[in-house]
Structure 1
Amino acid sequence: MLLLSTELLLAIALGAALWMRPWQLLRGGALISPLLGSLVVLPWLWALPWLHTMPLQLHWSLACLVLLMLGWPLAVPTLCLVAVLAGLLGDQTWEVVVTLAFWRGVLPATLALGLGAAIRRLIGPHLFVYVLGRGFLGAAVCLFAASALLQWLGPAQPGLDKTLSLVAHWLTAWGDAFVTGMLTAIFVAFKPAWLATWSDTLYLPKPPATHDTPD
């Protein structure tokens, strides 16, 4: 039942994103580098739990960073493709790929989109609000919310303490958010063209001009 709901929600999100013609965002070539970087790096990070046998499995997402770089219409198909590539690398089933695409990719990115709009509306478009609110804090909240929702809706696992599992999800979300916030700050400073959600005009308004009056 959860798989069917996940497939339906993923299809709706992907259809809505494609309806917005995300390829138009690639005009000018500024977002080609972050797009290719996402498709090269993220599949390996997402496939890490299946590629090594360490006792502590690291689950990376970075979906909020992809959202900030590419914008929601382009981030959704990109994250879906990342999930497919990760599934191929880890030799996983279609069910795992769908779950990965929605719960680790599309849902956190969509939550980050809504949270970012709410932050900008309530607080205003400020530089530190963008970096801290959407990069650090927003990423942590959205990633934890997606993980907690999956745990709540998914089947119960024997021997799993839900309280301790939520703590683990919270800590993992903060690790992901730290990387997201750090890279967001770097891109704002040195590569603002790699952030489709960034605007110098919006977040760096020029101070009003002052006119000297004669004595």
Structure 2
Amino acid sequence: MWLEYLLALVALAAALATRPWRLLASRKPLVHESHGAASALWTPLLATLVFLPWLWALPTLHQMPLQLQWSGACLVVLMLGWPLAIPVLLAVGAIAGVLSPALNWADALGAAIWLGVVPATLALALGALVRRFVGTQPFVYVLGRAFLGTVACVFASGVLSQWSGHLLPGVGSELSLVARWLMAWGDGFVTGMLTAIFVAFKPEWLATWSDQLYLQRPPQ
């Protein structure tokens, strides 16, 4: 459990050092790729705090032979940016612990780290690599970062979680890896689909999207 505490403290300190609340307090972008309408991020932030805790707590709210778990962290990073996503995901873990009587605080912290902080951080690193080596095209953003990137990051986080001792209940280690691989694809499909919809209709909900960067539009 000390590893989860350490990861949470390091990630939270690094995120807060960038003062991510500036994205919510003004319309000025925090980083070069942020969309101009920063105040619109209140909508995805509040939606994350309302819906994601229930999805994290769902496997412990009823009996299931296989506890399928959706992360959603990569989508949160695309919507809020990594600095703002980290405290939000830690808050989601705390809320999930309140919602589920079967989820103690150690399990809630583990969920916040392995379903939230770790895949979110991997998504940040992968996004930087995709922009650097593949380019800044809408197709690359949706397919590379939102879809395939989510699959890779969620599965890698699941593998690291299993190596740290977090096994799926009632499932062997080999079958557990297969289950995590399949769950990562489900996460990727949902993230890719929603990201494509947001790019088309609600780009202001994506802090990591920029018309100037991905569509080569001049600033207005």
Pairwise same-fold verdict (TM > 0.5): yes
Aligned-partner SS, 1:22: coil
Q: Per-residue deviation at 1:188? A: 0.2
Q: Per-residue deviation at 1:6? A: 1.4
Q: Per-residue deviation at 1:161? A: 2.6
Letter paired with 1:19:
A
Correspondence for 2:6 = 8
Correspondence for 2:182 = 171
From 82, 93, 98, give the equivalent of 1:88: 98
Question: Structure 1's 149 and 97: CA in aligned 2 closer, same or farther, altered over 3 A?
Answer: same
Q: 1 CA distance for matches of 2:8 and 2:164?
A: 16
Q: 2 CA distance for matches of 1:158 and 1:45?
A: 17
Letter paired with 1:21:
R
Q: Per-residue deviation at 1:206? A: 4.6
Count of equivalent residues: 205
List per-residue Cα deviations over 1:124-174 (Å, max 9, x = no partner).
111100000011000000000000111112167897432211111000010
Q: Per-residue deviation at 1:117? A: 0.3
List per-residue Cα deviations over 1:26-68 (Å, max 9, x = no partner).
1242100000000000011111011122333220110000000
Correspondence for 2:202 = 191
* Larger of the two Rg values belongs to structure: 1
* Bigger mean CA offset, 39-48 vs 91-100: 91-100
Aligned-partner SS, 1:172: helix
Letter paired with 1:135:
A
Question: Structure 1's 142 and 186: CA in aligned 2 closer, same or farther, altered over 3 A?
Answer: same
Aligned-partner SS, 2:96: helix
Report the TM-score when normalising by structure 2. 0.89
Correspondence for 1:74 = 84
Aligned-partner SS, 1:185: helix
Please say if residues 67 and 169 of structure 2, whose CA atoms lie closer than 8 Å, have aligned partners that are also in contact.
no
For the pair 1:42 / 2:40, whether they are aligned, the reply is no
Q: 2 CA distance for matches of 1:155 and 1:116?
A: 27
Please say if residues 167 and 173 of structure 2, whose CA atoms lie closer than 8 Å, have aligned partners that are also in contact.
no
Q: 1 CA distance for matches of 2:84 and 2:93?
A: 15
Letter paired with 1:79:
L
Q: 1 CA distance for matches of 2:118 and 2:154?
A: 9
Correspondences of 1:131-210 after superposition (within 5 Å): 131-154=142-165, 160-206=171-217
Question: Structure 1's 22 and 159: CA in aligned 2 closer, same or farther, altered over 3 A?
Answer: closer
Please say if residues 80 and 206 of structure 2, whose CA atoms lie closer than 8 Å, have aligned partners that are also in contact.
yes
Letter paired with 1:128:
F
Letter paired with 2:152:
V
Question: Structure 1's 155 and 78: CA in aligned 2 closer, same or farther, altered over 3 A?
Answer: closer
